[in-house]
């Protein structure tokens, strides 16, 4: 199967053994992973935290404002067995638990903790879907998957799951067998809208107190897994802050703790005080949990009230019909109207007669319909129709749709999420867009996307001097003599190879090419090792790329050489649609030395090289046959319109005169993750530097004056930052302590 990488903050609740089930969470480690994938996430979460703290301060004078926030819920059930297809009654029992727990109406509430509070937050099953149709707030989908894992596949129809309903209006809950003993996970505020929500296993969703015959597993059979995960969704951390006594959870009225509590250890003392074992954000058994605090209440409401990051969810009306009843004259696309207010007296559906141009779309899928999507935009750049992805369609099936379009000029774009088109590596897919005059667009063999401009009716063909934004012009009339398309200044990433979870679309040449894990990889664990001079067997080859329409293409990569002898080299080769040629060569002793990380960039120009729709790149080792090795990592191929980079090669660690380092790439840390006790740091020219190690909450865990070898054995497992400072500048890298 093809694989994709997701960027999601998760909190795992693991069953550590068959006989002794304990909760165990890796939320901070996974939060760090997401931050690696999404460099803007840390900044967004920092902004949310600043807002939250300020909002809480303003709430102090008006704690009990009497306003009840109601959150609409949609539950997506993905099931393989009849047990996993949990009943409506079991689902409703979970909603009841949420309401009881959040409103402090739970039967097991006691007076152990005086700060226990009614959060004034409640939940309801959605009564209207995103199209305005009535719903019971439950969707069901049969699947043959035995387990879903934690890569958010259940949230994507392209991977056999169910796409979320509008996450600004609904709290999406996916109930499925996650596998690996995992109870559930949640996304913190600030993450992608495409993956927002919570996920729970079917046997941990609901309460035995809500009925009989439910599929539930003790001791997590009272619905508190979902209460815990919704707490994360609303910006709560674990009560021990995922650290020791010096780390907090951003809530002032939860006692500081040095770690998680399991079972029901209500008398446990740490950090000089009794732990709040009964808090929903600890790891206690369901029967032991019974409260949120006033401080936690304020923190959750801060993100839901006006100004908060989840304010639209807090104001959603999807439990009361979502507002007025949709009509065919309300200016909104309702139900299955093909356009806004298509006419007629009923929207169930509107009866549309096409008085303009009748355009027919036909897509025959390859073996992965879940990767295919398309959009149709007008000359103003507005989307007038779209579709996909098509995870529910059978492999190799054909999908058709009729479009009624007024006269004008349009851009049709079809995309493949994996970057290999719909023909011919994994099936024989194709597409066509036709009207009464013939074929407007067609194809099937492309990489990530295929784009076609066309006009209908009496409209003149778009030009770059018509005063209209046409096709992919970045502004009105970007210049030039043709808009098919106008060259768009900017950069498009065509392929990225990090090789952490597989080959990322690159192909294994043969016996002298292999995916490698170890310290010779520049980025994280994995890279591709090439050796000797066995021709294609000593090579790795990129997926097919559509380079037409670009002025320049560059391939940037990192490499590390071992045992290469003087003059031995490796090549970057290019396929122009008909033949291969070498576009760059790197020789030991001239371009590089062994046992040093390098970064290099190769640029090709359309004026000098043919850019084809099926272009490819290849790395090939041409050393002697005595185990000479090149490790290739972090390969990025970019299409550029306008001027781009020039060819370059640079040893990581080399620096300009009078400067210790000039960028974050000028110091190297290894191994990463750290599996032993020592983190090694390489700085340019062997210089030393002071350092500081910081946890995810910004707290200093270690610091010192010598950075070359750092004993990190006292750090707990998790993600950290290391800062180095040369007296003028501070640079930061992330690492994982296992």
Look at residue 660 and tell me whether its pLDDT is greater than 90.
Answer: no
Query: Tell me, what's the pLDDT at 484?
Result: 34
Q: Using one digit for the tens of pLDDT, what is the confidence trace for 579-603?
A: 999 999 999 988 899 999 999 999 9
Report the alpha-carbon distance of residue 731 to residue 343 in Å, rounded.
61
Asked if residue 83 is part of any domain, the answer here is yes
Asked if residue 582 is part of any domain, the answer here is yes
Domain extent at residue 639: 492-651
Asked if residue 688 is part of any domain, the answer here is yes
Q: In the beta sheet, which residues pair with residue 207?
A: 222
Q: Which of 599, 621, 651 delimits the end of a domain? A: 651
Q: Give kind and range of the element (H or E) at residue 31.
A: helix 27-37
> What pLDDT band is residue 657 in, cutting at 50, 70 and 90?
very low
Residue of higher predicted confidence among 551 and 291? 291
Asked if residue 59 is part of any domain, the answer here is no
CA proximity to 322, closest of 17, 644, 72: 72
Q: In the beta sheet, which residues pair with residue 560?
A: 597, 631
The CATH code of the domain that includes 103 is: 3.40.390.10
Q: Both 100 and 148 in a single domain?
A: yes
Q: What is the dihedral of CA 702, 705, 711, 714, to 10 degrees?
A: -20
Q: Give kind and range of the element (H or E) at residue 298.
A: helix 294-304
Q: Both 297 and 185 in a single domain?
A: yes
Which of 316-330, 443-457, 609-623, 668-682 shows the lowest per-residue confidence on average (mean pLDDT)?
316-330
Asked if residue 259 is part of any domain, the answer here is no
Look at residue 141 and tell me whether its pLDDT is greater than 90.
Answer: yes
Query: Tell me, what's the pLDDT at 170?
Result: 97
How large is the average pLDDT for residues 65-92?
A: 92
Q: 582: helix, coil or strand? A: strand
How large is the average pLDDT for residues 200-221?
A: 93
pTM equals: 0.47
The CATH code of the domain that includes 396 is: 2.60.40
Q: Both 74 and 178 in a single domain?
A: yes
Query: Tell me, what's the pLDDT at 507?
Result: 92
Query: Tell me, what's the pLDDT at 476?
Result: 41
Q: Both 581 and 709 in a single domain?
A: no
Q: Both 234 and 174 in a single domain?
A: yes
Query: Tell me, what's the pLDDT at 391?
Result: 65
Q: Both 310 and 415 in a single domain?
A: no
Q: At what angle do helices 41-59 and 27-37 cross, to 10 degrees?
A: 120
Q: 105: helix, coil or strand? A: coil
Query: Tell me, what's the pLDDT at 138?
Result: 96
Q: Using one digit for the tens of pLDDT, what is the confidence trace for 243-254?
A: 788 887 899 899
Look at residue 81 and tell me whether its pLDDT is greater than 70.
Answer: yes
Residue of higher predicted confidence among 121 and 642? 121
Asked if residue 433 is part of any domain, the answer here is yes
Residue of higher predicted confidence among 527 and 682? 527
Percent pLDDT > 70 in the chain is 79
Q: What is the number of alpha carbons within 13 Å of residue 305 lying toward its C-beta?
A: 19
> What pLDDT band is residue 6 in, cutting at 50, 70 and 90?
very low
Distances (CA, A) of 440 to 92, 353, 405, 453: 50, 22, 13, 8
How large is the average pLDDT for residues 90-116?
A: 95
Asked if residue 202 is part of any domain, the answer here is yes
Q: Both 642 and 668 in a single domain?
A: no
Report the alpha-carbon distance of residue 538 to residue 519 in Å, rounded.
21
Report the alpha-carbon distance of residue 615 to residue 458 in Å, rounded.
37
> What pLDDT band is residue 686 in, cutting at 50, 70 and 90?
low
End-to-end C-alpha distance for the chain, whole angstroms:
29
Cβ burial 158-176 (10 Å sphere, 16+ → b, else e): bbbbbebbbbebbbbbbbb
Q: Using one digit for the tens of pLDDT, what is the confidence trace for 440-464?
A: 888 888 777 788 888 887 544 444 4
Residues 6+ away with beta carbon under 8 Å from 364 = 396, 397, 398, 399, 422, 428, 429, 430, 431, 444
In eight-state DSSP terms, residue 134 is B
Asked if residue 630 is part of any domain, the answer here is yes
Q: Both 448 and 531 in a single domain?
A: no
**φ/ψ (deg, to 5) at 303:** -80, -15
Region for residue 40 given its phi and psi (left: phi exceeds 0; alpha: psi -120 to 50; beta: otherwise):
alpha
Q: What is the dihedral of CA 201, 203, 206, 211, to 10 degrees?
A: 160
Look at residue 307 and tell me whether its pLDDT is greater than 80.
Answer: yes
How large is the average pLDDT for residues 669-682?
A: 81
The CATH code of the domain that includes 501 is: 2.60.120.260
Residues 6+ away with beta carbon under 8 Å from 58 = none
Query: Tell me, what's the pLDDT at 8?
Result: 34
Q: Both 303 and 169 in a single domain?
A: yes
Query: Tell me, what's the pLDDT at 685?
Result: 58
Q: Both 153 and 299 in a single domain?
A: yes
Query: Tell me, what's the pLDDT at 340?
Result: 36
Look at residue 178 and tell me whether its pLDDT is greater than 80.
Answer: yes
Query: Tell me, what's the pLDDT at 477?
Result: 46
Identify the residue whose tokens are 């495409």: 194
Q: Which of 596, 624, 651 delimits the end of a domain? A: 651
Query: Tell me, what's the pLDDT at 58?
Result: 76
Note whether 618 and 580 are within 8 A (CB): yes
The CATH code of the domain that includes 733 is: 2.60.40.3080
Q: Both 647 and 670 in a single domain?
A: no
> What pLDDT band is residue 289 in, cutting at 50, 70 and 90?
very high
Query: Tell me, what's the pLDDT at 200?
Result: 93
Nearest-5° angle of CA 84, CA 87, CA 89? 145
Report the alpha-carbon distance of residue 270 to residue 277 in Å, rounded.
11
Residue-averaged pLDDT of the chain: 80
Residues 6+ away with beta carbon under 8 Å from 159 = 4, 153, 370, 391
Report the alpha-carbon distance of residue 618 to residue 620 in Å, rounded.
6
Q: Both 439 and 550 in a single domain?
A: no
Report the alpha-carbon distance of residue 581 to residue 592 in Å, rounded.
22
The catalytic residue positions are: 229
Q: 576: helix, coil or strand? A: coil
Query: Tell me, what's the pLDDT at 4?
Result: 30
Q: In the beta sheet, which residues pair with residue 545?
A: 615
Count of domains observed in the chain: 4
């Amino acid at each position: 199967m093809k694989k994709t990488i997701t960027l999601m903050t998760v909190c795992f609740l693991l069953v550590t053994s068959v006989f002794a089930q304990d909760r165990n969470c890796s939320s901070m480690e996974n939060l760090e992973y997401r931050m690696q994938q999404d460099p803007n996430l840390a900044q967004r979460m920092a902004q949310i935290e600043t807002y939250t703290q300020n909002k809480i301060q303003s709430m102090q004078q008006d704690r009990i404002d009497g306003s009840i926030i109601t959150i609409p819920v949609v539950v997506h059930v993905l099931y393989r067995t009849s047990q996993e297809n949990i009943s409506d009654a079991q689902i409703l029992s979970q909603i009841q638990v949420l309401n009881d727990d959040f409103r402090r109406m739970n039967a097991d509430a006691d007076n152990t903790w005086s700060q226990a509070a009614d959060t004034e937050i409640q939940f309801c099953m959605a009564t209207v879907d995103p199209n305005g149709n009535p719903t019971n707030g439950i969707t069901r989908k049969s699947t043959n998957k035995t387990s879903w894992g934690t890569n958010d596949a259940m949230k994507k129809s392209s991977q056999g799951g169910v796409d979320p309903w509008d996450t600004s209006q609904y709290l999406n809950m996916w109930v499925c067998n996650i596998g690996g003993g995992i109870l559930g996970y949640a996304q913190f505020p600030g993450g992608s809208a495409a993956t927002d929500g919570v996920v729970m296993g079917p046997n941990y969703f609901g309460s035995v107190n809500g009925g009989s015959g439910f599929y539930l597993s003790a001791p997590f059979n009272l619905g508190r897994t979902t209460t815990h995960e919704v707490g994360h969704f609303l910006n709560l951390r674990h009560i021990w802050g995922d650290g020791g006594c010096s780390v907090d959870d951003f809530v002032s009225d939860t006692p500081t703790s040095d770690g998680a509590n399991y079972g029901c250890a209500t008398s446990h003392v740490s950090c000089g005080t009794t732990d709040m074992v009964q808090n929903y954000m600890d790891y206690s058994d369901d029967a032991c949990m019974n409260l949120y605090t006033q401080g936690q209440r304020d923190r959750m409401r801060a993100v839901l009230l006006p100004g908060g990051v989840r304010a639209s969810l807090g104001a959603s009306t999807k439990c009361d019909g979502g507002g007025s009843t949709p009509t065919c004259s309300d200016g909104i696309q309702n139900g299955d109207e093909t356009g806004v207010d298509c006419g007629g007296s009923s929207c169930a559906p509107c009866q549309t007669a096409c008085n303009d141009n009748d355009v027919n779309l036909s897509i025959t899928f390859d073996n992965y319909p879940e990767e295919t999507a398309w959009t149709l935009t007008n000359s103003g750049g507005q989307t007038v129709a779209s579709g996909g992805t098509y995870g529910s369609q059978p492999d190799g099936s054909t999908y058709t749709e009729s479009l009624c379009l007024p006269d004008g000029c349009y851009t049709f774009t079809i995309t493949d999420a994996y970057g290999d088109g719909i023909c011919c590596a994994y099936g024989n897919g194709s597409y066509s867009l036709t009207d009464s005059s013939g074929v407007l667009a067609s194809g099937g063999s492309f990489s990530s996307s295929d784009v076609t401009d066309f006009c209908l009716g009496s409209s003149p063909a778009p030009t770059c001097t018509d005063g209209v934004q046409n096709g992919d012009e970045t502004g009105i009339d970007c210049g030039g003599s043709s808009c098919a398309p106008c060259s768009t200044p900017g950069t498009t990433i065509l392929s990225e190879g990090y090789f952490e979870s597989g080959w990322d679309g690159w192909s294994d040449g043969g016996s002298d090419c292999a995916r490698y894990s170890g310290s010779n990889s520049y980025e994280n664990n994995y890279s591709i090792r090439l050796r000797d001079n066995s021709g294609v067997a000593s090579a790795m080859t990129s997926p097919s790329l559509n380079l037409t329409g670009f002025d320049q293409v560059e391939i940037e990569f990192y490499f590390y050489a071992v045992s290469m002898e003087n003059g031995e080299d490796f090549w970057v080769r290019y396929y122009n649609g008909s033949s291969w040629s070498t576009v760059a060569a790197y020789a030991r002793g001239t371009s590089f030395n062994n046992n040093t990380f390098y970064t290099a960039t190769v640029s090709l120009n359309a004026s000098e090289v043919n850019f084809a729709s099926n272009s490819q790149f290849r790395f090939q080792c041409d050393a002697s046959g005595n185990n000479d090795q090149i490790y290739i990592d972090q390969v990025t191929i970019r299409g550029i319109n306008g001027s781009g980079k020039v060819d370059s090669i640079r040893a990581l660690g080399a620096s300009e005169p009078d400067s210790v380092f000039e960028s974050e790439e000028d110091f190297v840390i290894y191994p990463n993750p750290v599996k032993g006790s020592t983190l090694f740091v390489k700085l340019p020219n062997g210089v030393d530097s002071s350092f500081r190690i910081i946890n995810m909450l910004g707290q200093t865990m270690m610091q010192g004056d010598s950075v070359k070898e750092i004993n990190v054995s006292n750090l707990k497992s998790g993600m950290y930052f290391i800062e180095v400072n040369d007296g003028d500048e501070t640079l930061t890298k992330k690492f994982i302590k296992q």
